[in-house]
Structure 1
Amino acid sequence: MRRFTLCLLVLSAIVGGLTPGVATAAPGSGIVDVRPLGGRQFEVSVYSAAMNRTIPVWVSAPDGPAPALYLLNAIDGGEAGGPWTNRTDAAHFFADKPVTVIQPIGGRASLYTDWAAEDPALGRNKWSTFLIDELPAALAERFALTGRNAVAGTSMSASSALALALQAPGRYQAVGAFSGCPRTNDPLARAVVRSQLQLFGANPDNMWTPGDPAWIANDPVVNAERLRGVALYVSAGNGLPGIHDTLADPSISGDLPRLTDRLAIGGVMESVVRDCTQPFTDRLAALGIPATIVYRSGTHAWPYWQDDLHDSWPLFAAALGV
C-alpha cells in the first residue's frame, strides 16, 4: 500500500506547465564552458542569471547551420535516474541527423516553469525563462542555429513542452508530448500537481497559488486553439503489457522483480496517463487541429519513449525543414 500510494503521488509528475507570457532574459546569462565529448557531442555549461546558477546542457551539433530539438527530461530532471542520453539511444540516433539536439540537465520536480517564489527544497526555479530566453541566446553564440525549433518532453515534461509552445507562439514548429497529462486547470490536475510538489518537500504555493491564472493559461486543453499550425505528436499507453514489458526485452534482461515492478507501478501510471490524455486529443479533433496521436499497449517506461523519439522524428524533420 505504501508503494502504491507513492506511485500515485509520483504520477502527478506528469502534470505540469509554464507561467503565462514570454519571460525576459536576465542580463548576464551565457556560456561559461564548452567541453567536447567526442564527435558532435558537447557538454556546455550555461549560466542562468534568472536562477543564479550554472546549468549543464548536453548538445549534439552537426557541422553547419541546423534547427534545434530541445529534449526535456522526466521527474528527476535527468539528475538521478538519468537523462535521455543515459536512458535511451538518443545520442546514437541523432548522430547522423541534420539537427542540433539540446538537453538541459536539471529541473527536478520543477515542471519546467517559472515559480513565483524561491522554494526551500527546490531553490529558485525560472525554467521557462531559461528555456525560452536564456538558453537559445547563449547557444547561438557558439552553435549555428537556424531559428527553427522543436521541443519534446516525457512524463512530467510532456505537458511542459506543450506549454512552452503556448507561451512562445511561433517559437516551436513541432512539439512531442510522450506519456504526459496535458491538463492543469481541472480540480484533479491541480490536486495531483500540488501533491507531487509536496512529495519532494516543496511548497506548491511557491509555484502557482490557488488563484494564479497560470493554471488556466498553461492548460493545453483550454488553449488548444493556440497550438494550431504546430506539428504535434502525442502518445500514451493503456497500462497493459506491451512489447517492452517482457522478460526478453533488453530493458528487463530477464529480471523478474524488475518486470513485476514495471507492470504493477508503471502499468497503473500509464493507465491514468491514457485517461488524462484523451480530453486533449478529443479537443484537438473537435477543433480540426491535425496531430499524430499514438495510443498503444504499454507501461510508463523509457523504452516506449525511445520509440516515440524515433517515430516522431519524421514529423519533426518535416516541420523543421530538414
Structure 2
Amino acid sequence: MKRMKSLAATVAVAGAMLAVPAASAAELTPAQVAGDTQLSEVRELTPTEEIEGQKWYQKYADDDRVLKLEATSPAMDGRAVPLAVIKAQNPDRPTIYLLNGAGSAEQDTDWLNQSEAVEFYADKDVNVVVPQAGAFSYYTDWDVSPNQSYLKGPQKWETFLTKELPGPLEAHLNANNKRAVAGMSMSATSSLLFAQHNPGFYDAVGSFAGCAATAAPFEYEALRLTVNRGGGEPEQMWGPMGSQKNRYNDALMNSDKLRGTELYISSGNGLPGETDMPSYYTGQGVNPAAASVGAATLQIEGGVIEAAVNHCTHNLEAKLKSQNIPATYNFRDTGTHSWPGWREDLEKSWPVFEKALF
C-alpha cells in the first residue's frame, strides 16, 4: 500500500511538473519587430557638455570595458541617445538591455553610477546596453509630449528601444539573436511591457521592484507621482485612466503575454534593513548628520514606496501562478525602494538570464 501511495505521489508530482510550461527560446528577429520602421544610426558617442557633467561618464570615460555610443531615434526627430555598453568578450553573444529608473543618467541615478554593473558583467561574456537618457519617460511612447523639463520633444522610447535600435546596435556589437530586458522601479514596468508587446523577442525579463498594474486608480496615481517629477502627466502619456492605451500598458492585465519568457521578479517589503540605517552610511564615512537625514528619507519615503511595490508584485505573482506561468521571485524580508536591493538583483537575476541566454 505504501509503495502504491509513493508511486501515486511520484506520478502526481511528475504530472504537475509537466503541466508547468517551460520558457521557450525567443525567435523573433529585430527586423521582424521593426517592420518598416526607420532604423537608428549607431556611432561613437560625441559627448555634449551635459553628458560630460554626468557622473557615469566621468567615471568610465577612459575605461575600455565600457563602449560609449550614441544612436539616433527617427521617431524622436533624430535625437541622439547616449548608450553605455559593457561589451561581451567574444562575438555572437547575447544582449541585455538594462534600463535605468526614473531619474536616469540625467540625475546621476543610473546603473553605471549607482551600482557595480560594469564589474559584475565584465566577465559574463554578454553585451549589456544601458540607455543613458529617458528620465521620467517610463520608456514608453507618449501620446502628447509635455515639452518641458526632462520631457522635451517627442517621447517615443518604446519605438526606439524595441524597433529602431536593436537591429543596428546588435549588428554593431556582432551579437546573436538572444536578448533580455531588465529594469528597476519605473523601468521594471517598462521591461514587462516590452516583452508583452513583442512576444517571442526577449528570452528573459527582469522586473526589479516595479508595479505591473497601471490602469487602476491607485496605480494610475503612482504613475502621476513619477511623471510629474519630469514635467508630465499620465494623461499625456497613455490617455485617461482605464483608456484602451492605458489598459494596453497595464502589465498585470496582460500578464498572459509573458508566457514562454524566463522571468525574474523582485521586491522588498518596505521595512528598513541594515542598508537603511544611519550606521550603514557613517560606516562608509558619511557625515553623521547627513547619514541620519538620508536614512530617515529612505525609511519613510522609500519604505512607503516599496510597501506599495510589494503589494503590486504579490498581485503579479498571484496572477502568474493562476495562469501557470513560472517565474523566479525574490521577495526580500526587509528593504526600502533603494539601490542596495537593485544591486542584489543584478546578481540574483543572472542565473535566470544565463539559463535563458546561453
Q: TM-score, normalised by structure 2?
A: 0.79
- Please say if 1:58 is aligned against 2:75: no
Give 1:31 deviation, angstroms.
1.2
Any unmatched runs of 5+ in structure 1?
A: 1-21
Take 1:290 and 1:126, find their aligned partners in 2: how far apart are those partners?
A: 31
2:64 corresponds to which of 20, 26, 39: 39
Paired residue type of 1:262: L
Letter in 2 for 1:305: W
The verdict on how the C-alpha distance between 1:50 and 1:25 changes in structure 2, with shifts beyond 3 A counting, is farther
Tell me, in whole angstroms, the C-alpha distance in 1 between the residues paired with 2:191 and 2:98: 9
Instruction: For residue 141 of structure 1, give the secondary structure of its aligned residue in structure 2.
Output: helix
Q: Looking at both structures, which has the greater relative contact order when contacts are Cα pairs under 8 Å and sequence separation is at least 6?
A: 1
RMSD of aligned Cα (Å): 2.0
Which one-letter code corresponds to 2:137 in the other structure?
A: S
Question: Structure 1 length as normaliser, TM-score?
Answer: 0.87
What is the deviation of 1:90? 0.2
**Does the 8 Å CA contact 2:101/2:183 hold for their aligned counterparts?**
yes
CA 1:183–1:92: 2 relative to 1, 3 Å: same
Q: Does 1:309 align with 2:339?
A: no
Supply the distance in 2 between the matched residues of 1:41 and 1:112 (Cα, whole angstroms): 22
Aligned to 1:240: 271
Write the distance in 2 (CA, Å) between the matches of 1:252 and 1:105: 30
> Of residues 267, 270, 273 in structure 1, which corresponds to 2:306?
270
Question: Percent sequence identity over matched residues?
Answer: 38
Instruction: Say which is worse superposed, 208-217 or 171-180, in terms of deviation.
Output: 208-217
Task: Name the CA shift for 1:34/1:216 in 2 (closer, same or farther; >3 Å).
Answer: same
Partner of 1:218: 249
| Aligned CA distance change for structure 1 residues 56 and 82 (closer, same or farther; 3 Å) | same
Per the TM alignment, residue 240 of structure 1 is displaced from its structure 2 partner at its CA by: 0.7
Higher strand proportion (structure 1 or 2): 1
Taking structure 1 as reference, are residues 290 and 25 closer, same or farther at Cα in structure 2, changes over 3 Å only? Answer: same
Equivalent residue number for residue 189 of structure 1: 219
Gapped runs of 5+ residues in structure 2?
1-32, 47-60
Q: Choose which of 125, 134, 157 in structure 2 pairs with 1:127.
A: 157
Larger of the two Rg values belongs to structure: 2
Q: Counterparts of 1:1-322 in structure 2 under 5 Å?
A: 26-27=37-38, 29-34=40-45, 37-52=62-77, 53-62=79-88, 63-121=90-148, 122=151, 123-210=153-240, 212-249=243-280, 253=284, 255-296=291-332, 297-321=334-358
> Quick one: distance in 2 between partners of 1:39 and 1:170?
33
Quote how far apart the aligned CAs of 1:65 are: 1.6
Alignment partners' CA distance in 2, 1:195 and 1:260: 20
Q: Determine helix, strand or coil for the equivalent of 1:43.
A: strand
1:94–1:186: structure 2 CA closer, same or farther, 3 Å change rule?
A: same
Deviation at 1:277, TM superposition (A): 1.5
Q: Work out the CA distance in 1 between the residues paired with 2:349 and 2:252.
A: 21
Question: Displacement, 1:146?
Answer: 0.6
- Give the 3 Å change call, closer, same or farther, for CA 93–250 of structure 1 in structure 2: farther
Tell me which amino acid in the other structure corresponds to 2:122.
A
